Structure 1
């Protein structure tokens, strides 16, 4: 297939289904427990890792690590995964075919595009509600049942409308564009390095599953450099009682508040589980995503987008 023909290649809508299935699998396995640990540490910045895990366990045992999974994480995963794989694959393909970019630059552009679109299109209220569910108090007076997740959602919506349930969405967008720009970019860069080491000079020579997973894991781990943005996002969406927190939270004011109260270390709270989550998510969405497209391509007869 020539470069011109590749640029004219129609968008593969199977990426929507693949993205949804992969992201649901990622979240339901290790994704949500790592998300809960990371969010708990980011919201309680004076707590150690052990204290955070004990706090999560006290909220329901093993089920405490899956708080927010149903329905918010499932809604988020099915929608954001579909958007990410659909947009990033199309943009990455067009960047290489139309702009002549290499795998690294095209991967960054595809990841940034997919991350921004998924943040504003699907992730705002889901991310907000997951954080609310993880950080809100579940205790109530004797004889009073704590509010359900849906009741809290309705309460926030009734009070603040769309802006209330999308609180922190700008921070989410910054996080997602840097997340997936880094993850796709670094993964493609590592793939190029693996090709050189293994002597795969022909573009048609495929990486093995282990090589693809290795590249994705390294790319995912390196993407945790933007942890301060994640801590800011959690603080903006948190329902943790804190009388010292500014009433009006913007990305800038939240950054200032965290820095003044917890210093540089506070901006990197939860970075260890975040690295684990980044690796897990990138292996699913980049490594398994590429392999899944190859698999689907064998049945459809189409050359899959982003063939490496």
Structure 2
């Protein structure tokens, strides 16, 4: 008798939990605005098209672990000149297709999820969200986005790490060829290499968005305007740059670990193996390789993306005054 009652209670609890989850998802879906998707996608695509060569250089420095097969670069300028001399503009734009797809989709989905989660959390409240709530909303949006886009990032990393100037001797001919070959030879796990450090990396975006939102709120408070008032382009650029520098300084090592896991020229047995070998062979500096070219790339990329998003989203939502 008691077992029957227990099963009935368990079934009732499960039914209640399922209903609660469904109700929450329905409430969340009401806050989804595809204008945010379009605006984020626009910002990601524009910034990627302009700054992809710097991303390529950053990844090549990040995986620079002493293997003889890798080209040796003295500096960012030397790296760019070498690639230009061997392969021309085409070489500097290796991997641009998955990067555009990845950046466009990531920023679009991120802004879509982030603004929906933020609005869902704000629902029925008069008070503004706290810094912690912005942090959690951004982290949740980042995890959802990464689940959908990780295969694209693996593909991009593989393409930008093809060092041979002769197209006929390259392992991958393009984005689709890389996706098919990775899936064929490595399966789903191959497409999700670097996923765990990528999840850790959602803290990067969470810290960035928390800082960015806080700066916007304080600036509007200083100007005695509503917290969501439209600011000037210079203000958006300044706040985006500050928030990005802060986030990069705190979280950059995960990007090195992720890039090395996704690199086809080296075999690691997981995150712990990457960390141990990097520390043993290169010390703390190994975890910050490529940070300077990364900052040179991500700060203008972030400024362009946020500026485009803020203006395009308001234009599409009819809030541009």
Structure 1 residue 279: deviation in Å? 1.9
Matched, 1:279 2:299: yes
1:184 matched to 2:209: yes
TM norm structure 2: 0.78
Q: Give distance in 1, aligned partners of 2:199 and 2:29.
A: 29
**Structure 1 residues 51-97: Cα deviation after superposition (integer angstroms, max 9, x where no partner):** 43344334522332211012x12321332222111001111223334
CA 1:275/1:205 → structure 2, altered by over 3 Å: closer, same or farther?
A: same
Q: In the aligned structure 1, how far is the partner of 2:53 from the partner of 2:302?
A: 16
Q: State the alpha-carbon separation in 2 of the partners of residues 179 and 25 from structure 1.
A: 21
Instruction: Quickly say closer, same or farther: Cα 1:107–1:278, change in 2 above 3 A.
Output: farther
The yes-or-no answer on 1:260 pairing with 2:289 is no
How far off its partner does 1:233 sit?
0.5
Tell me the equivalent position of 1:16: 37
Mark the structure with the bigger radius of gyration: 2
Q: Matched residues in 2 for 1:204 and 1:165: separation?
A: 39
1:95 aligns with 2:116: no
Matched, 1:269 2:289: yes
Residue of 227, 240, 255 corresponding to 1:216: 240
Deviations 1:13-43 (A, max 9, x none): 222222222211121111x122111101101
Which residue number corresponds to residue 3 of structure 1? none
1:121 pairs, out of 148, 157, 162, with 148
TM-score, scaled to structure 1? 0.81
- In the alignment of these two chains, the number of paired residues is 283
Cα distance in 1 between the residues matched to 2:306 and 2:248 = 16
| RMSD of aligned Cα (Å) | 2.8
**8 Å Cα contact 1:18/1:292 also seen in 2:** yes
Q: Describe the shift of the 1:192–1:11 C-alpha distance in structure 2 as closer, same or farther (beyond 3 A).
A: same
Alignment gaps of 5+ in structure 1: 1-6
C-alpha deviation, 1:45, in angstroms: 4.6
Corresponding position: 1:296 with 2:316: yes
Q: Is the 8 A contact 1:43 1:238 kept in 2?
A: yes
**How far apart, in 2, do the equivalents of 1:103 and 1:295 lie?**
27
**1:1-308 correspondence runs (5 A):** 10-30=31-51, 32-45=52-65, 47-50=73-76, 51-70=78-97, 72-97=98-123, 100=127, 102=129, 104-122=131-149, 124-138=150-164, 145-147=169-171, 148-149=173-174, 150-175=176-201, 177-196=202-221, 198-203=222-227, 205-225=229-249, 226-240=251-265, 242=266, 245-246=267-268, 248=269, 250-298=270-318
Unaligned 5+ segments in structure 2 are: 1-27, 67-72
Residue 62 to residue 95, structure 1, CA distance change in 2 (3 Å): same
Task: List per-residue Cα deviations over 1:155-208 (Å, max 9, x = no partner).
Answer: 322221111122112222222x12211221111222234335x43254364322
Distance 1:95 1:280 in 2: 31
Report the secondary structure of 1:60's partner residue. Answer: helix
